[in-house]
Structure 1
Amino acid sequence: MPRNDYQKKLSELRDDVLYMSEVVAERLRMGLDALEQKDEELADQVIQGDGEINRMYLDLEQDCVDLLALQQPVAGDLRFIAASFKIITDLERIADLATNLGGYAIEAEKDVFPDVDVQRLGEYTLDMLDGAMHAYSEEVPDECRAVAEADEDLDAMCGAASETVVRDLIETDEFDAGAETSDGEMETLMQDVSRLLLTIRDLERVGDHAVNIAARTLYMIESDDELIY
């Protein structure tokens, strides 16, 4: 492959990874909106759209394999292709977590424990993803480290949210041993609690994947593995 064509392929790979990240971020936003609005149609769009993300992932995976096999890149180009390969894997997994949110939105019948601000957690993860992808796009190492630092705050927020759910569950009237609560009502309450805890866990995982993207990007830029774990 002529040098100009090779450089064009590298540029196209970066553009395609960035496009995939935009689609994934949109699906995550849709999942959060579906949860907030109890919108089953929107939730179904997120779930049905997962196939598109999977196909996008497989196409980009093949592009990375072809560049590695046919061009045998070295140094910075090798790190870029390897980082892109790892990043699309994290993006695909974030899309899976967005699909989970769609499923929770369909199953949930009502809001439980309004003290837990799921949308705030979701916005925070979207900001982290945006920061990680901007670092990849513009090759800004400080933004990679900023995403890793933000994850510590997200972990604390998710931990506090989970504790709030457990505390409120213990204090709620339905959980009071003296309250007249049917088995069906208790089962519904526990299912709602379980979905909320899973939502918090999944958003925390989105943050973890954003950190993975930042870590691979930092290695791509500076050959620095300090964020890789």
Structure 2
Amino acid sequence: MDSLNLNKHISGQFNAELEHIRTQVMTMGGMVEQQLTDAIVAMHNQDAELANKVIEGDQKVNMMEVEIDEACVRIIAKRQPAASDLRLVMAIIKTISELERIGDVAEKISRTALEKFSQQHQPLLVSLESLGHHTIQMLHDVLDAFARMDLNAAIEIYREDRKVDQEYEGIVRQLMTYMMEDPRTIPSVLTALFCARAIERIGDRCQNICEIIFYFIKGHDFRHVGGDQLDKLLAGDGNGSNPA
């Protein structure tokens, strides 16, 4: 826990419990990142074996969320944490929820690869690899920022979602052109749109984790705040210090 600059506690066991659940979050994050990577590869390569592996792996992600959540509840009940300790526990509970939902996206993409592509027998009309790699990098970076509770890194990752949105909008325009030029492409367009939208939403989930990092460091709720207002709130006292 030293990397988070948290207070040491009289109870060494309390420190161990906090460190353990933080480690579990990073393990879960690594699993979800791999799930997402495999799902995007399976989608583009129409790899049924890899898609099935992702679908089966989703249950492990779900069980890990339950395990971490229960550990957090036990800490709250047993230790009655306050201030930064309580914020850390709440940040973990919120983060694993976001990670679980990203895992669900990976599963849905894999099911689409199995069901839709097997029926249409053709590749995607557009490549989603760039969009997929962009969101995977966002997820990797935000997990690293969470591990270090790095405010500056979280701010940069939060802003990166604008580029993901722009990339997604370009894909939508391209798909709409295909559909207008040849109505027979509508089923394929809808499949590609579903996958593109699912991947784009991962960027939003990463933004949510950034907001959780802001909450831990600043002690304020930054949800549903954006643009210049967010910049002003994050500037706050100007030093990004961690309140008690």
Q: TM-score, normalised on structure 2? A: 0.83
Asked if 1:83 corresponds to 2:95, the answer is no
Code of the residue aligned with 1:191 in structure 2: it is: P
Which residue does 1:200 correspond to in 2? Answer: 196
Which residue does 1:12 correspond to in 2? Answer: 20
Which residue does 1:137 correspond to in 2? Answer: 147
Count of residue pairs brought into register by the alignment: 212
User: In structure 1, how many angstroms separate the alpha carbons of the residues matched to 2:10 and 2:49?
Assistant: 48
Task: Single out whichever of 150-159 and 88-97 deviates more from structure 2.
Answer: 150-159
SS of 2:91's partner is helix
Task: Determine which structure has greater relative contact order: mean sequence separation of CA pairs < 8 Å that are 6+ residues apart, divided by chain length.
Answer: 1
Percent of residue pairs identical:
27
User: In structure 2, how many angstroms separate the alpha carbons of the residues matched to 1:200 and 1:37?
Assistant: 16
Which residue does 1:181 correspond to in 2? Answer: none
The CA RMSD measured in Å over matched residues stands at 1.4
Which residue does 1:209 correspond to in 2? Answer: 205
Code of the residue aligned with 1:86 in structure 2: it is: K
Code of the residue aligned with 1:105 in structure 2: it is: A
1:102-113 aligned within 5 A: 102-106=110-114, 107-108=116-117, 109-113=121-125
User: In structure 1, how many angstroms separate the alpha carbons of the residues matched to 2:186 and 2:23?
Assistant: 44
Which residue does 2:43 correspond to in 1? Answer: 35
SS of 1:49's partner is helix
User: In structure 2, how many angstroms separate the alpha carbons of the residues matched to 1:35 and 1:77?
Assistant: 41
Q: What does the per-residue CA deviation read over 1:74-129, in whole Å, with 9 as the maximum and x for residues that have no partner?
A: 1111111000000000000000000011012112121242xx33010011101111
Asked if 1:220 corresponds to 2:232, the answer is no
Asked if 1:153 corresponds to 2:163, the answer is yes
Which residue does 1:191 correspond to in 2? Answer: 187
Task: Single out whichever of 81-90 and 132-141 deviates more from structure 2.
Answer: 132-141
1:224 Cα offset (Å): 4.0
Q: What does the per-residue CA deviation read over 1:183-216, in whole Å, with 9 as the maximum and x for residues that have no partner?
A: xxx4xx4322111000111011111111111110
Code of the residue aligned with 2:205 in structure 1: it is: H
User: In structure 2, how many angstroms separate the alpha carbons of the residues matched to 1:59 and 1:52?
Assistant: 10
Which residue does 2:227 correspond to in 1? Answer: none
1:218 Cα offset (Å): 1.6
Which residue does 2:6 correspond to in 1? Answer: none
User: In structure 1, how many angstroms separate the alpha carbons of the residues matched to 2:109 and 2:187?
Assistant: 15
Code of the residue aligned with 1:195 in structure 2: it is: T
Q: TM-score, normalised on structure 1? A: 0.89
Gaps of 5+ in 2: 1-8, 225-244
Which residue does 2:232 correspond to in 1? Answer: none
Structure 1 stretches (4+) deviating beyond 2 angstroms? none
